[in-house]
Chain A
Amino acid sequence: MSVLLQTRALTRHFDGLRAVHEVDFALPEGEVHALIGPNGAGKTTFVSMLCGRIAPTSGRVEFLGRDVTQLPAHKRIALGMAYTFQITSVFARLTARENVALAARRHIRGGHGPVMAAVHKALSQVGLDDRAAQIAGDLSYGHQRLLEIAMGLAQRPRLLILDEPTQGLADSEIAGFKALIRTLAADTTILLIEHNMDVVMQTADRITVLNFGEVLAQGTPSEIRANPAVQAAYLGSGADA
């Protein structure tokens, strides 16, 4: 497996606060990788630097073997990244269908038909196909989260970055989400920020733990579960996850 994404000494300071400090990270193609850590550990800042939302203070990001540190967000997206927001950020006054169509049109040429086919595929993957005509802002919070994921899927990215996708979802929707991740893993590399340990342990191939902006540990789910430093920092003693 080749390395899809790599960071070297990636750092971001906010006025003296070290949000992310010299993170070296490599993500092989085809992996489902979970990024976990306590609140404020720098997870969202880290992935925001990957997709170009935030510029790093220092360090570099490589995607598909080229240095993309200086590229603006839209060019990185064009290379095959997709990012779904932690705080739901759908276009609230447009329909669900149009939201996904905006995501799909970027890479699908050839008019209305193929775009709509991709839209319906993405919506049915998250189970929202019967709500395509609704205004996104009228959907329930959980459905907006699913719509956000569908927008990521419709871009057919090489790398899908999901920022706390299951936050606010019902248990049945989380089960569906886990199944979805497993089907996607066949042709997409996934970087998942997640607080729900069930989801992490059942879907991730490998896990990276961030704490105070630095990598605390990295390994398979069972290694992470057994790691005493992680237990102390994050899972708490006697973790049952």
Chain B
Amino acid sequence: MFFAAGMYGLGLAMRHLGLAPAPAFLAGLAAGAGLSLIVGVLALRTAGVAFMIVTLMFAQAVYLATLLFGEWTRGDEGFTVAQASRQLWGIDLSDPTARYFAALALFALALLGCLALVRRPFGRVLIAIRENEERARLLGYDTFAHKLGAVVLSGTVSAAAGAAYGLLFGYVGATFATVQYSIFPLLWVLLGGAGTVIGPFLGTLFMFYLIDLSSGLTSAYMLIAGVVLVLLTLFARAGIAGELRKRLWRWLP
């Protein structure tokens, strides 16, 4: 949902307002931040599994909204971002090499930002809330405000990814708001290791190559992916990074 918010924030700003890529990218970030603020305020009245379900329902509502306003969003069909306008500081982002490095730069920025965050007092408080929310509250921390901050922050990072996708691949469409794009990141995180910084990246990599390799062997590749997922949740509940941290490197972020 936040991915789509960033994507549409950028795409609509470029298509209907005729903005240049840089301000349109900022519009994408603002769309993600705004949406996550609203969703966070409402969904954080619940916790745990209920919170997950409520946010998924919001995602579904956002998807249906993109279909409803098909006149502007072009719904399932989507629309393209004109190749000529996909330039940033004189770099042609439709060129595969430039595209790769732009994505890498954004990823590196997000990863370093995340690493810095968990070392800052704000991140420490978030860890404390994860470990024991009531204790954190009775140390004088406004846990609601901190959780809301976390939701907005992650929503904005997702929006950055969505806006970047729109810019790099020149396509904006409602398929990216479907529920599987909410569930896949969840799987990546669970696979890689919830509560780790590097985990989601490892999870994504693992899942990507798993599907890539297994689809070369059989057309039932999702079955293989499913079995691996079941095995991992049974035998490595902390995820890849979580298990590595437990067994090998305790310092792993």
Q: Interface residues, chain A, CB within 8 Å of chain B? A: 51, 53, 72-74, 77-78, 83, 85, 89-94, 98, 101-103, 105-107, 151, 155
Q: Are the C-beta atoms of A91 and B135 separated by less than 8 Å?
A: yes
Q: What are the residues of chain B within 8 A of A77 when measuring CB–CB?
A: 138-140
Tell which of B121-129, B177-185, B205-213 binds the partner. B121-129
Q: What are the residues of chain A within 8 A of B140 when measuring CB–CB?
A: 74, 77-78, 106-107, 155
How far apart sit A103 and B124, CA to CA, in the bound complex (Å)? 11
**Is B141 at the interface (CB under 8 A from chain A)?**
yes
Partner of B139, one of A53, A93, A98, A103: A103
**Given A89-B132, A91-B128, A106-B140, 17 more contacts at CB 8 Å?**
A53-B134, A53-B138, A74-B137, A74-B138, A74-B141, A77-B138, A89-B135, A90-B135, A91-B131, A91-B132, A92-B131, A92-B132, A94-B127, A102-B136, A103-B139, A105-B124, A106-B139
Closest-by-CB residue of B relative to A51 is: B138
B237 to chain A, nearest CB (A): 15
How far apart sit A101 and B121, CA to CA, in the bound complex (Å)? 9
**Is B142 at the interface (CB under 8 A from chain A)?**
yes
Q: What are the residues of chain A within 8 A of B138 when measuring CB–CB?
A: 51, 53, 73-74, 77, 83, 85
How far apart sit A233 and B141, CA to CA, in the bound complex (Å)? 39
Q: What are the residues of chain B within 8 A of A73 when measuring CB–CB?
A: 137-138
How far apart sit A78 and B140, CA to CA, in the bound complex (Å)? 6
**Is B60 at the interface (CB under 8 A from chain A)?**
no
Instruction: Mark each residue of chain B from 134 to 164: 1 if its CB lies under 8 Å from any CB of chain A, else 0.
Output: 1111111111000000000000000000000
Q: What are the residues of chain B within 8 A of A74 when measuring CB–CB?
A: 137-138, 140-143
Q: What are the residues of chain A within 8 A of B134 when measuring CB–CB?
A: 53, 89
How far apart sit A94 and B134, CA to CA, in the bound complex (Å)? 16
User: What DSSP secondary structure best describes chain B's contact surface?
Assistant: helix
A47 to chain B, nearest CB (A): 11
How far apart sit A54 and B125, CA to CA, in the bound complex (Å)? 22
Given known A-B contacts A74-B142, A106-B140, A94 and B128 have beta carbons under 8 A apart: yes
Q: What are the residues of chain B within 8 A of A89 when measuring CB–CB?
A: 132, 134-135
Q: Give 4 closest A-B pairs by Cβ, nearest first.
A: A77-B140, A91-B131, A106-B140, A74-B142
Q: What are the residues of chain B within 8 A of A107 when measuring CB–CB?
A: 140
Q: What are the residues of chain A within 8 A of B136 when measuring CB–CB?
A: 102
A193 to chain B, nearest CB (A): 15
Partner of A105, one of B121, B132, B142: B121
Give residues 88-137 of B contacting A (CB, 8 Å).
121, 124-125, 127-128, 131-132, 134-137
Given known A-B contacts A89-B132, A94-B131, A155 and B139 have beta carbons under 8 A apart: yes
Given known A-B contacts A73-B138, A89-B135, A102 and B143 have beta carbons under 8 A apart: no
Q: Are the C-beta atoms of A101 and B124 separated by less than 8 Å?
A: yes
Q: What are the residues of chain A within 8 A of B137 when measuring CB–CB?
A: 72-74
How far apart sit A72 and B144, CA to CA, in the bound complex (Å)? 11
How far apart sit A183 and B241, CA to CA, in the bound complex (Å)? 46
How far apart sit A93 and B246, CA to CA, in the bound complex (Å)? 12
Closest-by-CB residue of B relative to A93 is: B131
How far apart sit A90 and B17, CA to CA, in the bound complex (Å)? 53
A89 to chain B, nearest CB (A): 5
B246 to chain A, nearest CB (A): 11
How far apart sit A94 and B127, CA to CA, in the bound complex (Å)? 9
Q: What are the residues of chain B within 8 A of A101 when measuring CB–CB?
A: 124
Closest-by-CB residue of B relative to A89 is: B135
A76 to chain B, nearest CB (A): 8
How far apart sit A91 and B151, CA to CA, in the bound complex (Å)? 22
How far apart sit A72 and B142, CA to CA, in the bound complex (Å)? 9
How far apart sit A80 and B143, CA to CA, in the bound complex (Å)? 18
Closest-by-CB residue of B relative to A112 is: B121
Q: What are the residues of chain A within 8 A of B142 when measuring CB–CB?
A: 72, 74
B124 to chain A, nearest CB (A): 6
How far apart sit A73 and B131, CA to CA, in the bound complex (Å)? 18
Q: List 18 A-B contacts (CB under 8 A).
A: A53-B134, A74-B140, A74-B143, A77-B138, A77-B140, A78-B140, A85-B138, A89-B132, A91-B127, A91-B128, A92-B131, A94-B127, A94-B128, A102-B125, A102-B139, A103-B139, A106-B139, A106-B140
